[in-house]
Amino acid sequence: MQDYDNVRGDMYPMPWDMAPIHRQNNPLFMLARTAQSVEEFVATLRRRVRGQAQPVWLSSSLYPQYYTKTYHYQTDGWLSDRSARIYEHNTEVLFLGRQDAMQRTSLLPIASYMREAALAGRSPRDMKLLEVAAGTGRFHTFIKDAYPEMPSVVSDLSPFYLARARNNLNYWRALRQPGRRLGGVDDTGVTRFLQTAAEQIDGPDQEYDLVVCVYLFHELPEAIRRRAATEFFRVLKPGGMVVLTDSVQLGDRPSWDKSIGLFGDFNEPYYRNYVSCDLGAIFEEVGFMCDTKYLCSATKTLSFRKPLE
Ligand SMILES: C[S@@+](CC[C@H](N)C(=O)[O-])C[C@H]1O[C@@H](n2cnc3c(N)ncnc32)[C@H](O)[C@@H]1O
């Protein structure tokens, strides 16, 4: 309902994946995804009952130690094509069909930013957005659908998830902007698919107008959250905005406070620390000003502004 109200209020377009010709409405596509998801749910449940996560198959010193945990007991953690292929379906099931709608709350502060920019005579074409830890890029397609002309960078640490994101962006373009040359990789308007860590972003200072980060902070150790916030500040232009979307925390929905930490039992080692961490204080400490807060079911979206110099 909240999602629909936002569409009616002209904050963002009707979700493009509702088009009847979208592949997710093809019964064969859905059947294949459902079969893979059921298989994954059984494997995950087995590990959860035993309390034993599977070690990740890939040994690499290129990744931080906390990253190679198999969060949620999922097979291969973030490091396989199989994991990336089933991620969207699994999380939609886990959140009882609310995942996309919760993520789209991130479009609210972006819409306010765009309106403010329009008053100053700037258009999305003149801006640049970075999505950090974009995963399979599914949410990025909703950003693109709202602002197809805005150049953007899709980043994540997992090359497997980035490859999936490229596939999703190509599919979005084929369906929504057929034949249109948006520039960047595959003419999707994504100037780069960037393999980089949130806490050490590969790129110069003050490159972006907007940094968006969805469902990452609850998976980071506290010190890394601070480093990521510092990096967001560094890569943003003065006046730029961070949009941070993640799980609700203690006090956001007081009636959930007693049970909220239980999600930490799903091999989410930093979740209990996350729910009690003061995100506003972290962002203020590195120089941001707190801006807006929206709640949508189990998710919240915060925005922070980098002061104008
Ligand atoms: C829970 S998923 C969220 C993905 C996507 N934002 C979404 O909402 O669907 C977490 C993602 O963060 C990425 N990730 C985890 N730690 C990271 C880090 N330090 N830097 C960049 N990406 C990271 C993982 O590879 C994974 O794709």
CATH no. for residue 148? 3.40.50.150
Do 116 and 160 fall into the same domain? yes
- Final residue belonging to a domain, choices 97, 123, 150: 97
Question: What region, left, alpha or beta, does residue 17 occupy, with left being phi > 0 and alpha being psi -120 to 50 degrees?
Answer: alpha
Ligand 1 atom at minimal distance to the Cα of residue 131? 6
User: According to the model, what pLDDT value does residue 7 have?
Assistant: 94
Do 264 and 291 fall into the same domain? yes
Domain count, the chain: 2
Would residue 8 count as lying in a domain? no
Do 119 and 65 fall into the same domain? no
Would residue 82 count as lying in a domain? yes
* Residue written as token pair 């929504």: 176
Would residue 131 count as lying in a domain? yes
Question: Could you list the residue range(s) of the whole structural domain that residue 182 is in?
Answer: 100-305
User: According to the model, what pLDDT value does residue 69 have?
Assistant: 82
For ligand 1, the distance from its centroid to the CA atom of residue 132, given in whole angstroms, is 8
Do 115 and 260 fall into the same domain? yes
For ligand 1, the distance from its centroid to the CA atom of residue 179, given in whole angstroms, is 31
Would residue 141 count as lying in a domain? yes
CA pair distance 301, 247, nearest whole angstrom: 9
Q: Which residues line ligand 1 (CB under 6 A)?
A: 67, 78, 103, 133-135, 138-139, 156-158, 161, 197-199, 214-216, 219
User: According to the model, what pLDDT value does residue 5 have?
Assistant: 93
Do 113 and 41 fall into the same domain? no
Q: Which of 79, 100, 156 is the best mutation target for the ligand 1 pocket, counting ligand atoms within 8 Å of the beta carbon and taking the most?
A: 156
* Residue written as token pair 């890939």: 58
Do 93 and 213 fall into the same domain? no
* Nearest residue to 299 (alpha-carbon basis) of 230, 213, 229: 213
Q: Which of 83, 103, 141, 219 is the best mutation target for the ligand 1 pocket, counting ligand atoms within 8 Å of the beta carbon and taking the most?
A: 219
- b/e per residue, 100-121, with b = 16+ CB within 10 A? bbbbbbbbbbbbebbeebeeee
- 107-119 vs 138-146: helix crossing angle, rounded to 10: 30
Ligand 1 atom at minimal distance to the Cα of residue 245? 8
* Residue written as token pair 């109200």: 5
User: According to the model, what pLDDT value does residue 52 have?
Assistant: 84
Do 208 and 82 fall into the same domain? no
For ligand 1, the distance from its centroid to the CA atom of residue 156, given in whole angstroms, is 6
Do 124 and 186 fall into the same domain? yes
* Nearest residue to 305 (alpha-carbon basis) of 240, 248, 256: 240
CA pair distance 96, 297, nearest whole angstrom: 11
Would residue 7 count as lying in a domain? no
For ligand 1, the distance from its centroid to the CA atom of residue 199, given in whole angstroms, is 12
User: According to the model, what pLDDT value does residue 33 have?
Assistant: 87
Would residue 60 count as lying in a domain? yes
Q: How far is CA 157 from CA 69, 127, 162, 198, in A?
A: 13, 24, 8, 8
- Final residue belonging to a domain, choices 53, 75, 97: 97
- Final residue belonging to a domain, choices 97, 119, 144: 97
How high is the mean pLDDT in each 10-residue block of the chain (309 residues)? 92 92 90 90 88 88 91 90 92 86 96 97 97 98 98 98 98 96 97 98 98 97 98 98 98 94 84 96 98 96 95
Q: How far is CA 6 from CA 28, 143, 248, in A?
A: 32, 14, 20
Do 141 and 85 fall into the same domain? no
User: According to the model, what pLDDT value does residue 97 have?
Assistant: 84
Do 46 and 163 fall into the same domain? no
Ligand 1 atom at minimal distance to the Cα of residue 228? 19
Do 126 and 275 fall into the same domain? yes
User: According to the model, what pLDDT value does residue 222 have?
Assistant: 96
CA pair distance 36, 25, nearest whole angstrom: 17
Do 64 and 106 fall into the same domain? no
Ligand 1 atom at minimal distance to the Cα of residue 218? 1
